[in-house]
Structure 1
C-alpha cells in the first residue's frame, strides 16, 4: 500500500463509485484511499504463476481465480483491497452485483515486497480475518523461495504452515496442491533482491 492521496474522505459506496472512473487503482481503508504502486519483474511473475496454477487446477470446478485487478470488499472492516490473487467458491460472488468487487474468498494470496511486507503480514492480515469465508492466506516472498501459509483451524485460530524450497503448498480450502517451484518458475535468482 502506498501513501494516502489528497482525496476527500468517503464511505465505501462513494469510494466504489469514485474508483470506477479513476485511471489508477486505489485501495480503501476506513475512509482513506491509497494509490497502488507497481511491482518488480519477480512480483508479477510470481503473481502470474500463482494465478495460472490455481486457475488450471480449478478448471471445471465452481471456484474462480482472480488476479490483482479485481477488488475484494471487506464490509466489516470498511476496506477494499486488490489482492495479488484470490479464489472464491461462493455463489454470492457470481451475481451481477458482484461484477466489480467480490466479498467471499476462500483463499487470498499476496506476493510480499519490501514496501508492503509488514502491512501484508500485520494489519492487512487482521483485516482479511474479518471475512467469514476466508480459510487460507498465502504470503509468497520474492527474495527467497519461501512462502507462509496461514490456515484457519476448527477453533477459528490461524495456524502458520511454512513452505520451503522443494516443498508443496497444500491449499486445503480449495483442494489444490502447488509445488513451491511452480510459483517461482521464470523468476531469475536474485531478481527481487536487485531492486
Structure 2
C-alpha cells in the first residue's frame, strides 16, 4: 500500500465516488487513500486456490466469495479495505455492488510490504465487524496459515496450521489440506 500525497483528505462518499473513476484500487483510511499494489505469482495462486475451494463448497449455500477487487466497508465512515478474499453469507450484502459490509470470513495473503499492517491495524479494524467470524493470514513466501476465530465469548483465538495439516474454516463449514492452498506455488 502506498499513500497518495497529491490528494486532499476526503469524506467516505467523496472517496466512493472518486474511486469509481480510477484505473486502480485504493483503500480508504481516515480520509486518506492508499494505492493497492500488485502481488506476486505465489500470492495470486494462493488466493486463487482458496477462492476456488470456497466457491465450489459454497455454491449451493447462498454465500458469495470475492477476491481482490471487492472492498469491505468497516463502517459508513470507513475504513474501506480490499482483502485478498472475502466471504459473505448475509443477504444484506446484495444491496450494494460497491462493497461488502457483513463478511463472515476475510483472508489476507501476506507479503513483506503489507504483513505488519494486515496483522495490526487492518485486523484491529476488521474485529469491529460483528458478522466476522474468522480472519485468516496466509504466508506467501513459505507454508504457514493462521486462522483467528472469534469464540463464544467474543475473543479472537489463534489456530495455526502448517504443512501436512488440514485447515478448518468453521465460519463456512470447510476443511481442506494446507497443501491444497499451496498447489502449484513455487517459492524463491
Q: Which TM-score applies when normalising by structure 1? A: 0.93
Q: In the alignment, does 2:130 pair up with 1:124?
A: no
Asked if structure 1 preserves the Cα contact closer than 8 Å seen for 2:150 and 2:156, the reply is yes
1:112-160, Cα deviation, whole Å (9 max, x unpaired) = 0000000000110000001000000000001111100000001110000
SS in 2 for 1:139: strand
Q: Which residue pairs with 1:38 in the alignment?
A: 38
Query: Counterpart in 1 of 2:91?
Result: 91
**What is the aligned-residue RMSD (CA, Å)?**
1.1
Q: Is the 8 A contact 2:12 2:76 kept in 1?
A: no
Give runs of ≥4 in structure 1 deviating > 4 Å: none
**CA–CA separation in structure 2 for the residues paired with 1:44 and 1:68:** 9
User: Deviation of residue 3 (structure 1)?
Assistant: 3.0
Number of aligned residue pairs: give it: 188
Q: After TM superposition, give the deviation of residue 76 of structure 1 in Å.
A: 6.4
Alpha-carbon distance in 1 for matches of 2:137, 2:109: 6
Counterpart residue number, 2:6:
6
Q: CA deviation at 1:71?
A: 1.2
Counterparts in 2 of 1:135-146, with a 5 A limit? Answer: 135-146=133-144
Please say if 1:167 is aligned against 2:165: yes
Distance 1:76 1:155, change over 3 A: farther
For the residues of structure 2 that align with 1:154 and 1:48, how far apart are their CA atoms?
A: 31
Residues 27 and 87 (structure 1), Cα distance of their counterparts in 2 relative to 1, 3 Å cut: same
Contiguous gaps of at least 5 residues in structure 1: none
CA contact (8 A) 1:76 1:130 kept: no
Alignment partner, residue 100 of structure 1: 98
Q: Judging changes above 3 Å, is the alpha-carbon distance between structure 1 residues 76 and 150 closer, same or farther for their aligned structure 2 residues?
A: farther
Cα deviation for residue 2 of structure 1 reads 2.1
Give the Cα–Cα distance (whole angstroms) in 2 for the partners of residues 10 and 3 of structure 1.
13
Name the structure 1 match of 2:25. Answer: 25
